[in-house]
């Protein structure tokens, strides 16, 4: 299933993250794509908050992976610097792990990305406006359905 949603501001973005947060499960994979500054980390922060993570979620650009222990652990990956390295088997422990795995710049490690996933592509429309292209099949389909504005 595929859907496009226009977001006008941060609070609408937070609402969408909350909807996703209501549907997360063990082994959930969320792939985020979009230009620098589109809002991938911001979305991850809102999602983390919605599932009860009190720690501040920062961009993991210089660490590649950050782990937030929680009822459902959050594995936050930023693959920006991993372009062209091929499959990253060390990250696969997390991508195919027991937590919620959020991957910024997932196309940079596409060989390691499962078929089943929720994908959100964020396009900058200006100021606080964003266009979200959202898709997912199988167990992710009902989440795409649930996301509305
Ligand atoms: N509707 C919105 N959704 C998300 N972020 C927004 C929105 N409106 C404004 N912003 C701002 O845009 C910036 C997005 O930065 P963020 O670090 O989340 O981008 P990113 O996609 O993770 O970039 P990078 O590729 O560098 O990791 C933040 O300063 C955020 O406050
Ligand atoms: Mg980021």
Domain boundaries, the chain: 2-146
> How far does the centroid of ligand 2 lie from the alpha carbon of residue 64, in Å?
11
Ligand nearest to the CA of 34: 1
* 85 contact partners, CB below 8 Å, separation of at least 6: 109
Question: pLDDT of 82-132, one tens digit each?
Answer: 988 877 778 999 999 999 999 999 999 999 999 999 999 999 999 999 999
Q: Residue of the nearest CA to atom 11 in ligand 1?
A: 39
Q: Residue of the nearest CA to atom 9 in ligand 1?
A: 128
Q: What is the pTM of this model?
A: 0.96
Bridge partners of 5, per DSSP, are: 132
Question: pLDDT of 20-31, one tens digit each?
Answer: 999 999 999 999
Q: What is the CATH number of domain 2-146?
A: 3.40.50.300
């Amino acid at each position: 299933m595929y859907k496009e949603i226009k977001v006008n501001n941060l609070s609408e973005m937070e609402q969408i993250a909350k909807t996703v947060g209501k549907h997360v499960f063990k082994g959930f994979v969320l792939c985020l794509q979009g230009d620098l500054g589109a809002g991938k980390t911001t979305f991850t922060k809102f999602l983390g908050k919605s599932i009860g993570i009190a720690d501040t979620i920062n961009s993991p650009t210089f660490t590649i992976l950050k782990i937030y222990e929680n009822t459902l652990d959050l594995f936050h990956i930023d693959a920006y610097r991993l372009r062209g390295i091929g499959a990253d088997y060390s990250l696969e422990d997390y991508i195919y792990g027991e937590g919620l795995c959020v991957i910024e710049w997932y196309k940079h490690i596409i060989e390691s990305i499962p078929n089943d996933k929720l994908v959100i592509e964020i396009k900058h429309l200006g100021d606080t406006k964003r266009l979200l292209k959202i898709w997912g099949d199988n167990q992710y389909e009902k989440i795409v359905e649930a996301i509305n504005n």
